[in-house]
Amino acid sequence: MIKNKIGEMENLFKEYRLTPKRKLVLEIFLENKERHLSAREVFRLSREKGADIGLATIYRTLELLEELALLHKLNFGDGRSRYELIPVNDEEHHHHHLICLKCTRIFEVKDDLLQQLESVVENKYNFKIVNHNLQFLGYCSKCRQSEK
């Protein structure tokens, strides 16, 4: 399954090569699909897989994968960039994030719900919207439970 996915991604590398290190980083993202990984976390996971990739290489690899539109860079305001996979076949719409201010866990909102807002804004401001970026900040159910 993961091998097939990486095969699909290989032709997106264009003039770059899918080196073993780049392949390993992609594998880590495919194995941790529900997570939003920082460079340090990718580094730690690569160590766990027995790989010997320096942190600087991880940073460069993440930047390249972002440039190739394989990864999406996210900023949740905690001072570190995080990344997640962009689906190769764009059958899934992008999703939005709920960020818990207490435990810093990140939840995904699969519904978009913003089409209507976009068309209102487009009409009112005569602005062609191509994308949006939205985060919800608050407290998750677990954290609210423990407050009681």
Residues that bind Zn ion (CB under 5 A): 84, 100, 102-103, 108, 112, 140, 143
Count helices and strands in the chain by DSSP H and E runs: 6, 6
Nearer CB in complex with Zn ion: 86/140: 140
Q: How far is the CB of 65 from Zn ion (least distance, A)?
A: 15
Complex with Zn ion: residue 56 or 103, whichever CB lies closer: 103
Give the nearer residue to Zn ion in terms of CB position, either 41 or 112. 112
Closest separation between CB of residue 17 and Zn ion, Å?
A: 28
CB of 56 to Zn ion, least distance (A): 26
Q: Which is nearer to Zn ion, 11 or 115 (CB)?
A: 115
Give the burial string for 83-93 (b: 16+ CB within 10 Å, else e).
bbbbeeeeeee
Question: Residue 74 in contact with residue 81, Cβ under 8 Å?
Answer: yes
**Gyration radius from the chain CA atoms:** 18
Q: How far is the CB of 35 from Zn ion (least distance, A)?
A: 9
CB 91 within 8 A of CB 61: no
Q: How far apart are CA 107 and CA 34, in angstroms?
A: 9
